[in-house]
Copies of this chain bind each other. A is one copy, B any other.
Amino acid sequence: MTTALPDPALDQLFRTARSHYHYDATPVTDADLRAIWDLAKMGPTSANMLPARIVWCTTDDAKRRLADCASSGNVDKILHAPVTAIVGTDLDFPDHLPTLFPPADARSWYVGNSALIETAGLRNSSLQAAYVILAARALGFDTGPMSGFDNDKVDAAFFAGTNIRSNLIMSLGHGDPAALHPRLPRPEFEAYNTVA
C-alpha cells in the first residue's frame, strides 16, 4: 500500500510553499518547462480532455506583450519573473478526444453544447493549472498565479485565430523568501467541510 510522503516533501508541496512574485536570478530553462509539463500532464481530467494550452513567456518581448494586458499591479511581476506562463483553455478540445480518449465517442458528449464545453473546459483547464503549480513545486520551483489581466486582450495578443481562451497566468522561477508577505489565513476543516 502506498504511504504518505515524508514531511519535507509535504512542506515543499503545500505547508511551507508560497506564491512568489519576486525571484532570484536563477534561469528557468526550456528543459525545466518540459519537465514541469511532463509531470503535470499526468494529472487527471474529464475523459482525458487535457484542454489547457500553455504559452511560456520567456523573452522580454513576450513578457512585455503580456504585461501590456495586465492590471497595473501585475506588470512588474510579469516583467521581472524569469518566465510567466499563460494557461489557456482550448474550446476545440472535443476534436482531440478521439485521440485522447479512445474507449468511447467522448467527442459526441460535447459537440454542439457550447455551455458544457465552456464549463468543462474551464474546470479541467483549471485542474491542469493546479497540476502545473504543484509539478513546479515538486521540481523545486516557485509559482505566482495571477488573475488580474484583461482576458480579451491576452486572447487577441496570444491566441488570435484560435478558440483558445486565457484562463490564468502564473510567474515561475526560484522565489525570494525575503520578499514574502505573511501568509493569509486558512480555515479549519469545520468551516468548509461536512462529513455526511
Closest to A89 in B: B123
Q: Determine whether the beta carbon of B134 is less than 8 Å from that of A187.
A: no
A108 in contact (CB, < 8 A): no
B53 touches A39 (CB 8 A): no
Copies of the protein in its oligomer:
2
Contact for A184 among B2, B33, B40, B101, CB less than 8 A: B101
Check A195/B123 contact, CB under 8 A, given A3-B140, A48-B184, A184-B48. Answer: no
Q: What is the distance, in angstroms, from A125's C-beta to the closest C-beta of chain B?
A: 8
Complex A-B, nearest 3 residue pairs according to Cβ-Cβ distance, in ascending order: A130-B130, A126-B126, A62-B196
Residues in A lying within 8 Å of B, measured CB to CB: 1-5, 9-10, 12-15, 17, 19, 24, 26, 30, 33-34, 37-44, 46, 48, 50, 52-59, 62, 90, 99-103, 119-120, 122-124, 126-131, 133-135, 137-143, 145, 147, 158, 167-168, 174, 181, 184-187, 189, 192-196
